[in-house]
């Protein structure tokens, strides 16, 4: 099982897409283990996107991510990082395949609705950045044996 970070960006919140997007993850079988709405402070946005600090879009990205509320979600499941990345679709909405979140809801190349961790290692760093110790809830769902084949004793 992996836990990954998803951020529904200000455009997703302002467009009223939170429920539709969350449903995609839950319908897939991923479990929400943490969730909070917040305004991202500038210093947190700078830390989160520091890998892009030398790129021309960096300042615009920071302004966008701090422009309104976001929904920060911790999702858990087998290969959660990869599963979420596939559900999200290509970075640019105009290039994302239909059936993906960005492909179905996005057209803009800069307002792309959603952020997701790009690796299990990054997910751990990002989860620590947005959630305090004890914020994530470990629980069992009654549907788990119907989401994963558990006949071998572990989910597959």
The verdict on whether 115 is a catalytic residue reads yes
Are 67 and 37 contacting, i.e. CB atoms less than 8 angstroms apart? Answer: no
What are the sequence ranges of the domains in the chain? 2-139
Per annotation, catalytic residue among 48, 52, 115, 133: 115
- What tokens appear for 62 in the block? 């920071």
Report the pLDDT value the prediction gives residue 60, as an integer from 0 to 100. Answer: 94
Q: What is the pLDDT of residues 26-69, one digit of tens each?
A: 999 999 999 999 999 999 999 999 999 999 999 999 999 999 99
**Rounded distance between C-alpha atoms, residue 75 and residue 46, angstroms:** 23
From the options 3.30.70.141, 3.40.50.20, 3.40.30.10, 3.60.20.10, give the CATH code of 2-139. Answer: 3.30.70.141
**Rounded distance between C-alpha atoms, residue 88 and residue 104, angstroms:** 10
Report the pLDDT value the prediction gives residue 6, as an integer from 0 to 100. Answer: 98
Vertex 102: Cα angle to 75 and 147 (nearest 5): 35
**Rounded distance between C-alpha atoms, residue 156 and residue 142, angstroms:** 17
């Amino acid at each position: 099982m992996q836990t990954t970070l998803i951020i529904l960006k200000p455009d997703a919140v302002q467009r009223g897409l939170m429920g539709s997007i969350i449903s995609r993850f839950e319908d897939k079988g991923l479990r929400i283990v943490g969730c909070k709405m917040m305004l991202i402070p500038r210093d947190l946005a700078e830390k989160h996107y520091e890998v892009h600090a030398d790129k021309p879009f960096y300042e615009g990205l920071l302004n966008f991510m701090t422009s309104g509320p976001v929904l920060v979600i911790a999702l858990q499941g087998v290969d959660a990082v990869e599963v979420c990345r596939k559900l999200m679709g290509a970075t640019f909405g105009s290039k994302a395949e239909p059936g993906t979140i960005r492909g179905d809801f996005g057209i803009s190349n800069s307002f792309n609705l959603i952020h997701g961790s790009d690796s299990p290692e990054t997910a751990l760093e990002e989860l620590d950045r947005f959630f305090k110790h004890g914020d994530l809830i470990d629980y069992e769902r009654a549907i788990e044996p119907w989401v994963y084949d558990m006949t071998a004793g572990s989910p597959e």
